[in-house]
Structure 1
Amino acid sequence: MTRFANFYGVIMVLSFIVSWQIFNAYFNFFVFLILFFVSYKIWQFKKK
């Protein structure tokens, strides 16, 4: 039973790490989009 519990704990940790990596990727992409949008707006404003 303890072996099964340890196995389950390892699976929980791995799934948590994977979901955290996915969250970081989405968050970085979101920040990149915001920065790109802001710089594009500034560039359009300077172009006028």
Structure 2
Amino acid sequence: MHPFYYLTYLLEKLPQLPDLKDQEALDALLPWSSSLPLTCRVFNTTK
């Protein structure tokens, strides 16, 4: 994961959320979310 790309993505997306209390919208921005761009994702390498 590249923290810079992830934080940049968050700073672009968070202001666009209509409701910051929307749990589903926030879950989509978590580092392990499958909806994140590949450059932002965390991959589980312990399997």
Give TM class, smaller chain.
0.3 to 0.5
Instruction: Tell which has more relative contact order, 1 or 2 (C-alpha 8 A, sep 6+).
Output: 2
TM-score using structure 1 length: 0.32
Q: Which has the larger share of helix?
A: 1
TM-score using structure 2 length: 0.32
Larger radius of gyration: 1
